[in-house]
Structure 1
Amino acid sequence: MKFTKAYIYGFGKWINFEISFSDGICIYGENESGKSTIYHFILFMLFGLPPKQREFYRPKSGGQIGGRLTIADEDVGVFTIERVDSLRNGAASCYTPDGMEYDEDWLKKRLKGTTLETYQSIFSFSAMDLNKITNMKESDLGEVLLGIGLTGSTEIHHLEKKLDNKLAELFKPYGKKPMINRQLDTLDKQFASLQGYKKNETTYREKKMNESQLEDRLCELKNELQEEKIKLLNIEKNIQALPLIGEYIRYQSNLEKYGQNLDFPEHGETRIENIKSNLLPLQSELAVLKGNAKKYQEKLERLQNKLANQKLYEAAQTLVKLKHEFLDNKKELERTENIIESKKMEMEMELNRLNVGLHFEHLYKMNFPFHIEQTWLQIKRDEGNVALEKERIQAEVQQLKQERNYLYNQLEELEEQILPDEKVFELNEKINRFHKHHAVRNLQNEAAQKQQKWRKRREKKEKDMNVFFISCLAIAVIFSMVGLFTDIRILLDISFLLLLFGVGQWMWGRKSLKEMEMVIQSDFESDTFHTLSKDDLQDAEIQISDHHKRVSEMENIKEQLKSNDMKRLNFRDKMKVVEDRYANIQQQIKEQYQFYPFLKHIDISYWPELFHALKQLVSQFKEYMKVLEDKEILLEKVIRFQSEVNEFVKEQNWETGDLIEQQLKAIESFIRKQQEISQQIEQYTDLLKENSKEQDELLLRIGTYESEIRNLLELAEVESEESFYRKANQVNEKKQNEEALDNTYAQLERLFPNSQWKSFVEKAQSESELEWMRNDTANTIEDLQQKIAKTQKELVTVQAQLETMESSEEYSNNLHQFEMEQEQLNKLAREWAIIKTAKELLSETKRTYKEKHLYQVMEATSYYFSRLTGYKYKSVYAPMDHRSFQVEANNGLRYEVNELSKGTIDQLYVSLRLAIGKTMSESNHLPFILDDAFLHFDSLRIKQVINLLEEISKTYQVILFTCRKEITLDMDQMETISLKATAFK
């Protein structure tokens, strides 16, 4: 939807005023020029205004309030909205191109329900919005930025606040004034009064306890009944799902036949059919072109045979061209004498009028080149332009000097603020020591844990070594004793080897433990560092960050100084060029004095006028001389022409007679026939060239389609079209099975959420088993219903006895009052529950809405913010966990919103608002309207935001109202309208 034009009958200071809108338009005007009035007129046309607000915009001179707004819509085309205060109470009338008229409801449908508040919070903002952001507390800044437009308007916030107030009016956990709290107090008092009447009744408590037990029993039975009913429902659902599960298993087995790798180009069958359908007409057209080319070639050869000799044709043309000269010469002989006398008299009179010292005899030698007029005129212009150029260059140089002094002052201020290199090195060392200390502490903790684990392992290993050594020693002793008693020598050798092996193993283990102990001990040793507090660390990081920011600003200023120096050098060169131009002009003037001495007594400014007078005299003199010459040769030309024509006709043997007029007619007829033949030859030659070009284009297009067919066959990994179609059928069958499987899966998920049906598939219960379970559960339900009926009967009996005991009138009145109060409490509780549910649904809706659009908004915000800051920042992160907005610079550092400058915060706000508008406009395509939104931006930020708006205007309509002239100067693509140049009608 785009605005094309608006016509204001009367609105504020504008009366009978018309304005046209383009895709990107900047409306410039100084303060009080009527920019905001036009802005509010557009809103009035779209959304209307209440009567009291309309009166505010009534013209001071009286008259009606209203106008027309023409809109181009993608669906209905161009339509016009008309609102007049005195008609239909300011309601809109919409006129479409087909002549139909629609009301306000139709307009609301075209706007897709967008209200004035929604439009202002998404598609429109001004400098006042930026001021609101800067006045917020730093801790709330991120939350305010995020809440500006994500919900579309403030209505949801008001509704949520209204629900909170209503909940507080009904109930507070520790309150006394809310209605439910007061009702609970009243109910407690009523209940205490009832208990007083029951105190003296002996059996009343027993019956009451019996009643309570029966009620509990009844409640348990009802719960069991409910559980059994749920169980029965699940069984019936299982029975109902059996066919679906069977289909699911069948579709899965079908898909396994096709395998995983079935490569085929997307929409391959349709694509190859489209290519073939496009290829056939091209081949047919190529055959037609070849047939036409053959016909054109045959006709061209026949015409070339009819064409006469070129020399003969040229000779005839020459004679025909001289025909008019021959006729003119005959007439000229009659008036030559009169012309000679009259021209001489006119020239003498003109020389007397000019009075520049020239006489008639001077005209014989006077001659002006064709360029002398431009030379004299250029000398006059250059002499005036050089003086103006000198003044302009001097003014520009003076402005550059002032800019250079200002930049040097800024550079000196920043140089005083930056830290010395020693201080920067010291701060970096502190930060590194802090991080190194934390790393060492972590290593020490890990080493301590390793040492503790090692102690346990060492004790276990020492115990194992001792056990192994003792075992070897015991076995060796046993073997040696057995060997001594039995006199078996080998047992003594074995015992000795066992003893030797046990001692060696024990000593090697001790050595390993000592080496491991030394390694663990070395890991545990730590260096000592001088630690910093977190406040000192934060202070050091802030100082380093400020230092880098100032260094970056200094580099920027140095670049600006270099640019300033280059501009001054350019202007110095321009001044030298101007001085050279001045010297060149003086040299040109001297040269003219040498050629035309009479110019010395005439001011340069009159040279062009003098040239025209002298040029006319010279021309008249030349005509005079020519007439004298023509008088001598006219008769000779006439005779010579007659003889040439007569000789040409005789050579061709044409029978035309002796009159020259008849001979000339025959020659002209011959020329016309030859021209017609030449034109036909040229036409057929062009047709052959065009035919050849079309054939080349068709062959190229045919080759492209054939290449596409080969590519499709390669993608499908087949060699022929028949194999291609066969594989396409397999892919379609697989896709149909996958869709059927997904459909069956979705149906099972609706019956059994959270994939509960998968466990049912694993159990593989048959239909007969499920039927038996259903019958068993139904019998259980019937038994429970009988028990409930019996219990209810006993409860009614007990309650009747209690009612008899409580039949006194005072007790009855209190009981009735108690029931009424309890009913009132239930009513308030239901109301509280309804409001609480509505609030939870509203919160859930906000959360869903936020999750749906937040990623898109933040992605667009990051892009716009990077553009506006000259790509100094690359990402913007939304607030979360009580943290405000964060931005990430190109060096990877992140900054909170309150760490940014005022101008950068404004850029962040503008980026967020543009991103919100872009995201919301995907569903509701409305123009952006910005009212002096960049009032406090400097020149660099102005250029960046203008470039961004011009890019956005290629997709969405952008209307910018501004009072700053420099904004309009930076516009390259957006149209600019100046209100100061517009007359009020």
Structure 2
Amino acid sequence: MRIKEAHIFGFGKWQQKNWQFNDDDIVQITGDNEAGKSTLRQFILYILFGQKPRDVEKYIPNDGAVLGGRLRVAGLDNEDITIERVYQKNKNKATVYFNNGTMKDESWLQQAMQGMDRAHYEAIFTFDSMDLQRIKSLHHDDLHEVLLTIGMIGSERIYESEKKLEKELQLLFKPYGKKPIINTLLQELKELKKQLASAQEKESVYENHLTELKEKELLLERVNEQKKMLEDTHSYYERIRAYYPNIEEYYLLSQKRKRLDAPLTFPTDGINRLHQYKEAILPIRSELLVLEKNMQSLEKEIEKSSSLTDEQFNKLVNQKQLLVQIEGLSEELGNLQETVNKEVKEIEEKLNSLQLSPLHIDLDALTLSFQTEEEWSTLVKEKEQIIMEESYIKAEIEGVQRKDKAIEKDIDRLQAKALTDNDRRNYANLLAEQEESSELAKQSKKYKRWKTQYKKVGKTVFLVSLAILTMAVLISFLTNPIIGYLGGGLAIVLTGGYWVYGNTLEKWLKPEGTNQSKPLNNEERIRIQGILEDQYKLENQIVEYKREKTKIQREMIQLEERLQTINRQKYRLENRIKEQVSHFPFLDGIPLTYWPKLYSQLQQVKAKNRSVLEIKEKVKAKNQDIQRLKEQLATDFSYDLESIEVKIKTETQKRETLHYNKKQYDEFSQQRENILEKIRPYQEEIHRLLSSANTDNEEVFIKLGEEYAEAKRMDDRLKQLKDSLLVLFSESELEQWRNGKIEAKQTVDNKLLAIKEDIDQVTHQIQKLQKEISDRQAAISILETSADSSIVRYELAMKQEELRHYAHKWSVHQYALASLERTKTSFSEKYLPLVLENASRYFNELTLGNYIRIYFDEENHSLLAEHKNGFNYTIDSLSQGTLDQLYIALRLGLAHVTSSTMALPFLIDDGFVHFDPERRKQMMRILEEISTRHQVIYFSTVHLDRDVKLYKR
């Protein structure tokens, strides 16, 4: 099955969205967190399988849009179909649309998907990073249930049926219960039997009849047992007649075995082993013969070879070494002499290039120390430093003089722009007068406003005081004169206080003097202020320039002092230079700057001169060595190096040939010992075989082996016959037959006829007894006419019938439950190994070969992973990444087992977050393999591989 298109009406954050899945077998849907990838996966599951209302309500859009959508899929029919599911429409069931316009309901969809529901699908084909955490609790029973779930169509109904049967069995019967139906019926039957027994005690005749009935029934039972014994005997002889050929063969073969005198024990596969050992020895012995022939040939060659004695050969080699040394020393001597001449010539050329005559300079007496080089370098550096310092100081003096002249000009220029002191004072006084006039005007205006306000309030105070005074006088006349005095005093205080306040504030607010200057307009005032500010700036600039001029003068004095110091340094430097020229006269006329370079050149010339002296010493030593070696040459050998080398070469070849032959002979000897060691184990094995058979003759050994094999074949046949006969007969019967106590076949036939006649007679007697029992039961029925006895018997019969009904029902349920358990167990045993086999293959690939297989420990009922190092690890001891890989491998193994019935799409939501890059690549290869059978839709924040096409909308 493949999903080709998804159209969402409304589901979570998605509304009116359309997803066209491409034709690739692996489809990746990527996006940031909270982008809606998991919501899309839940939408696909909802359309295919539906969901409980309380679980799907959280995906209802906030704006009230319709929840649901459509999926266009291929693989469920001959043509593409469209599956639609809308919340609260058509009872939340799916509707399937075909291209010809026909429609089908959800039952058709379930049948097309072969009974696969959401729980089963989520158990195999869809998972996310949270599902990977559940592997730690997975055990044998879990896989058993999962296998049953995914592999048996209608497994949910099987599970429900199993639970229903268990529940009904509990309702029917419990071993120690009272409420179940069968328990209740047994209790009621017990009570009814007590009632019946009580009623029967009153009927003595009834008891007699019952006694006779029981006697007849016992007799009938004994006759039936007699008949059964006769039938068993008849069946026994029938079996003997049916298996008579096997019994006869068992007897004859037992007698024949007794007559065969074969050894009780013999080496396992002894004859074949003897032949194998002998065949293995043959090629080794052939190799040994060839090796011994080669050793004899080498012995002859070693005896024929002859050469010089070791003393003669060593003396010859020593003569060669002396000649070679003399020749080498002569060549070295010529080279040294040539080197001396070349070095002397180079020294003369070097001195000439330095304009120094070799005749006027004694290189051997010339002493150039480290202090000399340091002194010359210091003189050059000091002279350069003095010249540079002198030029810097002179340049600075000139610059300072220029700056002094420029500042002098600036001061003169600024002083020319400055106002006279009289003009400046006039401008300042004018501004001060204008400021004072402005303040007086503001004060006068403020005084006038206060004066006006004061008069208004004064009137109010006067009226209030007058009113208080009038009221006080009236009250004093009418009531008490004191009130009049108090009111008059209050009015006087109020009026007097206000007057004092007014005089005091008037003195403070009234402006002093009058403004007699002519007021300036605003523009004139701003102009004068600007003139005064410019003058202030000019004065500040002049002060700054004067300060700068003072600093320049101090700097000039310092520079002149530094110049005098430089002159004193120059004098001391010239004296030191003269001192060096007196020590090294060849320096006279050479500029001081070149002295350090001259020093290095002279050092090189002195080094060459020392090298020439050393080489001359070597020449002298080489001459002495050559003379000493010539004295050591032997007189009994030629002084011709070439003839000696030829002779040494010939002797060396002879010695090498002899050494090689001896070495080859030793190797052959060692090989001979090795071959003998190879033969020895076979000979020991042959001897051990013969000893184990108590013989030392191979022919006797073979004969014993053949007899033992024949006896074993007869024993195997006897065991086979015995095993087949023991199914029907006892061990003692077989022992009698083996010892010859066997009846003839005719005798067996005669006994069968006699037993058949006895059975017929007993059958006739049984029929007679059954008739008599029926008569007694009829008589008892006549006596059972009392109401109590009849009712009790009726109720007892009804309860017994009801009990038989429920007992039959309980046994049917019990058998059905056992059948279900057997079905589940057999199915698990059939498919669990296939699942683990495929899961092991995927797990091995995902872990890059670190783990070999997955299997169940039946003893501990736990899932184990076998590592390549041979150790087995439980689930809880694996790392999180390995757990993820194990869980995915189990999912893929389950999918592989079930893919033969339905290849459904995989929906994977960030399933590989704990995978490293290598295992992620391996997972990609596995998904590519799986994608040939299943469509794979992968939801993630990152790509599995950049080669995978990304579809994101």
Q: Which has the larger radius of gyration?
A: 2
| Structures share fold, TM-score greater than 0.5 | no
TM-score band by shorter chain is: 0.3 to 0.5
**TM (normalized to structure 2)?**
0.40
